[in-house]
Structure 1
Amino acid sequence: MTWAPQGTSATDMPGMPAMAQAYARWVNARGGVDGRRLKVLTCNDRNDTVRAARCASRAAKEEVVAVVGSYSQHGRSFMSALEQAGIPYIGGYGVAHQEFSSPLSYPVNGGLPALVAGNGRQLAAGNCSHVSLVRPDTSAGDQLPPLLDAGLAGSGAGRATDVRAPEGASAYARQAGQALKGAGDGDGSGAGDGDAGRARSGGSGPCVTAVLGGRTDAFFDSFRRLRKDVPGIRTASVLGSVRQSLIDRTGGRRSPLEGAYATGWYPAADDPRWAPMRKVIDEHAFGDDRVDGSDPGVQTTWVAYTVLRQVLESLGGEAPTAESVRRALDRGDTVATGGLTPELNWGYDNMLAARDFPRIVNAKVTYQRVREGRLVAVHKGFVDVEETLESGAAPAS
């Protein structure tokens, strides 16, 4: 099963279940997995705790072997039901705390925590004199300021100004004003070093980063109207909140996001390593415009199903069950994703030494930037934010 919210006023991720169905069509056209057809069920959690629990209950009732490549903020609602049924959760998007703490969760990336910690590192490298963070006023959003601050540590930016925003708003003029005021209040000189220095833009100045998922475009629309009052301010976000389709929709090269920093989990969308996924989309998505190969949600679903297929093939022809899939994942065998992530395995020795995120096994991110209307890589390879995550998750002294 693959689930994600659709048709809501907050973050919608319709491409994830659509990608899952395209993947199944592709696999089945090639003879299935060890001769068995891959059947994908989908569910819409509608960003609602009750519906998320219903999706999990349906997964248990249908005896699915795994929930794969899915998005839901409501980990408390769905994870307990999956644990009770013994169903593994492979490759969640990484917005619910339980994805990084449940023993039945097998994340393929570092989720939103890694993106925000990495974004702090990227902004530190960009010589930001001060940073404002605009984030959802939710329990998941509450985790983000210390992670961004951990990434900024050692730079002249100091601690970020925390600007809380309603998740489903249509305009963010008040939050844009708060972010600009907070960025303008900074007086640090800023300095980047190490791997992040390659992202340096030259010269210090205030920066605003927004992590609002599907409402990030509404924020930057409000922000665009006010930013002229703060000269030299730079913008940033994380992949998912900013994506190529948003840049195209807001003017391409003339987009207010031109020049923005962006932190992602995977290589840039034009990287050759995505060619197999793009081929599957072209041949098996049948023109479904929900399936955007530059969308990190679609990419996560592709990576998660790549993991599932290798795990199913490792069973040696036996009929898969949730228990056998879970045992195979727990063996600690290495799974390759074609270079889209580091090689993955969920053995105990590979997990993060962080109290809040012990199930993270991939703490790598990528640095990108909007240039000439395109999201492009600005750093070769992956950047490891494991130590930043560990310090950002540590309890306050």
Structure 2
Amino acid sequence: MTGRRRLTPLRPFRHLTATAVAGALLTSGCGVLPGSSGGSKEPVTVMTWSPERSPSGSPHAMAGVSAMAKAYARWVNAEGGINGHELRVITCDEGDTLLGAGRCAREAVKQDAVAVVGSYSRHGQAFMAPLEAAGIPYVGGYGASTEEFTSYNSYPVNGGQSALLAGNGKQLAAGCERVSLVRPDSISGDGMPPLLDTSLLESSRPKSLDILAPEEATSYDAQAAQALERTGDGCVTAVLGDRTETFFDSFRRLEPEGSGVRVSSVLGSVGQPLIDRTGGRNSPFEGAYVTGWYPDSNDSRWAAMRRVIRQFAFADNRVDPEDTGVQTTWIAYTVLRAVIEKIDAPQITAGKVSASLNRGTEVDTGGLTPVLRWRFKDMLGSSSYPRIINGRVTFQVVREGRLVADRKGFVDVSETLSDAQSIS
């Protein structure tokens, strides 16, 4: 990444105290950043939102996203800011609701944010229009809403769930004669089979067996029994978000000993925190294939992020370096930093950020993704996913309770994403 600074070792307590005092002065408008040019460059204000305390019955809390953004700001400001600019991060709890997402977007406009960075929300229909009207770019969202891959105002860093499903098909095709897909009985779920099936057909495998599941069920015994009956000794992949755990509880309980069925999912439905919480090597996910966007969390390319979390998250247990939301936020702020350094101006505005991204500013994420840039010719350009620039995924597997690489490097599913529209 252009202009990347070396991480400093953890300072003694008295120095951290002095840094905290300096930070308080900056918040009140006094003092200058260490290493800055005497206040000649204006602060940069951005917003990050996520559901921190979801409403009763909603499981989509992602508090680590906003907490990671705050830790990132503490780090870069301790190092002198981004090219001399103090980074001011405003967070907003969107509560996993349409009203909350819209409220956070309006607050970003009110606070004159130059970008919304590294956020998580499923409600793009509520937040994207206010940002578009104000010209505030949406940089490196998690990929949980369709608008992130269709709006001219969005700059995604991954291919969303669509890329994961296309990649999951490729991963399963290598070793599964037959695949059952357990997915939500919903409009969003209806788009899943074509993505998985396109990859299976490319490898001369039959289409998946489509098993519909209610989104808010507390038991999936019927779907698990159906999957066991229809799959034989093939593979069962479940993409049910937070309910994936519930499905595999039912599946493992009904599965005959020695059945030979392999299980699978995608990151976002299954991740290391879930595996740890459900028993580690004794969890129902042991041996599962999992498709992700980034290298596995044990990969050395995450070392810089882990150091920042250790030194600047201050034991905030919401910031889990193995959480995909936290990882995406780190990558999104890496993009922001590269863009601000490229602009190199006393004042950073939303228009300048968008213009820099549109002109093709390159972002090196240290191998966590391919080099990112958002020129028109870099985008997938399909009618369903026009804003995708990174159609690559990783193959992982759960071994001894840990998600590890199942195949080295990235797998490009860009062509599959385009082809999937023809069978949808």
Q: Same fold (TM over 0.5)?
A: yes
Partner of 1:3: 49
**C-alpha distance in 2 between matches for 1:143 and 1:110:** 15
Q: Would you say 1:236 and 2:264 are equivalent positions?
A: yes
Q: Deviations over 1:199-225 (max 9, x none)?
A: xxxxxx321111222232222112211
Q: Would you say 1:93 and 2:142 are equivalent positions?
A: yes
SS of equivalent residue, structure 1 residue 320:
coil
Aligned with 1:365 (options 393, 397, 406): 393
Deviation at 1:166, TM superposition (A): 3.5
**C-alpha distance in 2 between matches for 1:353 and 1:181:** 40
Partner of 2:201: 153
Aligned with 1:71 (options 120, 124, 141): 120
Partner of 2:132: 83
Distance 1:315 1:154, change over 3 A: closer
Partner of 1:310: 338
Deviation at 1:173, TM superposition (A): 2.4
Distance 1:64 1:140, change over 3 A: farther
Q: 2:182 touches 2:240 (CA, 8 Å); kept in 1?
A: yes
Q: Would you say 1:208 and 2:236 are equivalent positions?
A: yes
Unaligned runs of 5+ in 1: 185-204
Q: Deviations over 1:298-357 (max 9, x none)?
A: 100000000001101111133111111111110112111111100010001111142100
Distance 1:179 1:79, change over 3 A: farther
Aligned with 1:297 (options 312, 316, 325): 325
Deviation at 1:263, TM superposition (A): 0.6
Q: 2:358 touches 2:374 (CA, 8 Å); kept in 1?
A: yes
Q: Would you say 1:16 and 2:62 are equivalent positions?
A: no
Aligned with 2:227 (options 169, 175, 179): 179
Distance 1:13 1:181, change over 3 A: farther
Partner of 1:162: 210
**C-alpha distance in 2 between matches for 1:57 and 1:165:** 36
Write the mapping of 1:135-146 to structure 2, written as runs, cut at 5 A.
Answer: 135-146=183-194
Q: 2:183 touches 2:211 (CA, 8 Å); kept in 1?
A: yes
Q: Deviations over 1:159-192 (max 9, x none)?
A: 22223333343332233233333424xxxxxxxx
Deviation at 1:89, TM superposition (A): 0.6
Q: Deviations over 1:89-122 (max 9, x none)?
A: 1111112111111101000011111111000100
Deviation at 1:227, TM superposition (A): 1.8
Q: Greater shift after overlay, 385-394 or 322-331? A: 385-394
Partner of 1:103: 152
Q: 2:342 touches 2:361 (CA, 8 Å); kept in 1?
A: no
**C-alpha distance in 2 between matches for 1:223 and 1:343:** 40
SS of equivalent residue, structure 1 residue 39:
strand
Partner of 1:189: none
Deviation at 1:243, TM superposition (A): 1.1
**C-alpha distance in 2 between matches for 1:285 and 1:138:** 38
**C-alpha distance in 1 between matches for 2:318 and 2:303:** 18
Partner of 2:406: 378
Q: Greater shift after overlay, 160-169 or 288-297? A: 160-169
**C-alpha distance in 2 between matches for 1:181 and 1:156:** 23
**C-alpha distance in 2 between matches for 1:176 and 1:19:** 37
Q: 2:339 touches 2:361 (CA, 8 Å); kept in 1?
A: no
Partner of 2:89: 40
Q: 2:140 touches 2:331 (CA, 8 Å); kept in 1?
A: yes
Write the mapping of 1:111-126 to structure 2, written as runs, cut at 5 A.
Answer: 111-126=160-175
Partner of 1:336: 364
Unaligned runs of 5+ in 2: 1-46
**C-alpha distance in 2 between matches for 1:215 and 1:170:** 8
> Which entry has the higher C-alpha Rg, 1 or 2?
2
Deviation at 1:84, TM superposition (A): 0.8
SS of equivalent residue, structure 1 residue 269:
coil
Partner of 1:271: 299
SS of equivalent residue, structure 1 residue 209:
strand
Distance 1:165 1:49, change over 3 A: farther
Normalising by structure 1, we get a TM-score of 0.90
**C-alpha distance in 1 between matches for 2:79 and 2:352:** 23
Q: Greater shift after overlay, 170-179 or 262-271? A: 170-179
Deviation at 1:285, TM superposition (A): 0.9
SS of equivalent residue, structure 1 residue 40:
strand
Q: Would you say 1:320 and 2:368 are equivalent positions?
A: no
Partner of 2:180: 132
Number of aligned residue pairs: give it: 375
Deviation at 1:150, TM superposition (A): 1.1
**C-alpha distance in 2 between matches for 1:134 and 1:5:** 26
Deviation at 1:230, TM superposition (A): 8.3
Distance 1:166 1:72, change over 3 A: farther
Normalising by structure 2, we get a TM-score of 0.85
Q: Greater shift after overlay, 93-102 or 129-138? A: 129-138
Kindly, what percent of the aligned residue pairs are identical?
Answer: 58
Q: 1:12 touches 1:214 (CA, 8 Å); kept in 2?
A: no
**Amino acid paired to 1:7:** R
Deviation at 1:144, TM superposition (A): 1.5
Distance 1:142 1:72, change over 3 A: farther
Deviation at 1:52, TM superposition (A): 1.3
**Amino acid paired to 2:353:** V
**C-alpha distance in 2 between matches for 1:143 and 1:159:** 14
Aligned with 1:280 (options 308, 319, 323): 308
**C-alpha distance in 1 between matches for 2:392 and 2:207:** 23
SS of equivalent residue, structure 2 residue 404:
strand
